């Protein structure tokens, strides 16, 4: 037996970590690294949410995630625009990973987890507590700082820092 968490015995445990990742931060990366240790396969999947207007395209977000997880052999990066539980079934995944930073996160996450459970009882949501170092960190905060050309090197990997610099250089109207 090993120390893995999740369902079943002896089966291949596939987890999905869904999110906007606009852009990925050290907080997300910490969850990815820790989750990758717990499951046979981890799919980090960018939600293509047509109602939000992101800074980075889905392709850019996927590319950045691939770059920063390339040293993790059991991590795959993908994107989806389907209902999460249906996407999970198509990937034969049983576990949803979500990160919790605060009570505010918890309320929203509980609602999401309960909804997904209602849609498919076979799918389990597992929450991972933030590394206290990153408990304040969000993609929005990073974008806010980068917009004003503030320092983000302690918040995001170098590839993301470079991508942010490119987005916010020069050509912004107003």
Out of 13, 14, 16, 21, the residue judged to bind ligand ADP by CB under 6 A:
21
Q: What is the residue whose two structure tokens read 């396969």?
A: 41
Q: Which is nearer to ligand ADP, 2 or 104 (CB)?
A: 104
Q: Which is nearer to ligand ADP, 23 or 94 (CB)?
A: 23
Q: Which is nearer to ligand ADP, 5 or 12 (CB)?
A: 5
Binding mask 106-145 for ligand ADP (x = CB under 6 A): ------------------------x---x--xxx------
User: What is the C-alpha to C-alpha distance for residues 70 and 152, in angstroms, rounded to an integer?
Assistant: 21
69: how many CB neighbours lie within 10 A of its CB?
21
The yes or no reply on residue 98 touching ligand ADP (CB under 6 A) is yes
To the nearest whole angstrom, how small is the minimum distance from the Cβ of residue 133 to ligand ADP?
9
Asked if 61 is an active-site residue, the reply is no
Return the ∠ at Cα 30 (arms to 29 and 35), rounded to 5°: 95
Three-class secondary structure of residue 18 per DSSP:
strand
Asked if 28 is an active-site residue, the reply is yes
Which range of residues in 24-32, 57-65, 116-124, 149-157 is near ligand ADP by CB under 6 A?
A: 24-32
Burial class (CB in 10 A: 0-12, 13-18, 19+), 138: middle
Burial class (CB in 10 A: 0-12, 13-18, 19+), 8: exposed
To the nearest whole angstrom, how small is the minimum distance from the Cβ of residue 142 to ligand ADP?
10
Asked if 101 is an active-site residue, the reply is yes
Helix axes 58-68, 158-167, angle to 10 degrees: 150
Asked if 52 is an active-site residue, the reply is yes
- Of residues 13, 28, 98, 143, which has the active-site annotation? 28
Q: What is the residue whose two structure tokens read 């170098």?
A: 158
CA 117 to chain centre: 20
Residues annotated catalytic, as ranges: 28, 52, 101, 139
Task: Please give the residue ranges that form the binding site for ligand ADP (CB under 6 A).
Answer: 19-21, 25, 27-28, 31, 98-99, 101, 105, 130, 134, 137-139
């Amino acid at each position: 037996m090993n120390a893995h968490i999740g369902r079943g015995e002896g089966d291949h445990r596939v987890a999905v970590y869904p999110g906007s990742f606009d852009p990925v931060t050290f907080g997300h990366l910490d969850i990815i690294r820790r989750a990758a240790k717990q499951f046979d396969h981890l799919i980090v999947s960018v939600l293509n949410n047509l109602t939000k207007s992101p800074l980075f395209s889905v392709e850019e977000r996927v590319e950045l995630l691939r770059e920063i997880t390339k040293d993790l052999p059991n991590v795959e990066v993908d994107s989806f625009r389907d209902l999460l539980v249906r996407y999970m079934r198509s990937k034969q995944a049983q576990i949803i990973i979500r990160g919790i930073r605060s009570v505010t996160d918890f309320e929203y996450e509980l609602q999401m987890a309960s909804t997904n459970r209602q849609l498919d009882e076979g799918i389990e949501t597992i929450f991972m507590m933030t590394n206290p170092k990153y408990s304040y960190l969000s993609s929005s905060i990073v974008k806010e700082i980068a917009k004003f050309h503030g320092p983000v090197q302690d918040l995001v990997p170098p590839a993301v820092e470079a991508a942010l610099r490119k987005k916010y250089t020069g050509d912004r109207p107003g």
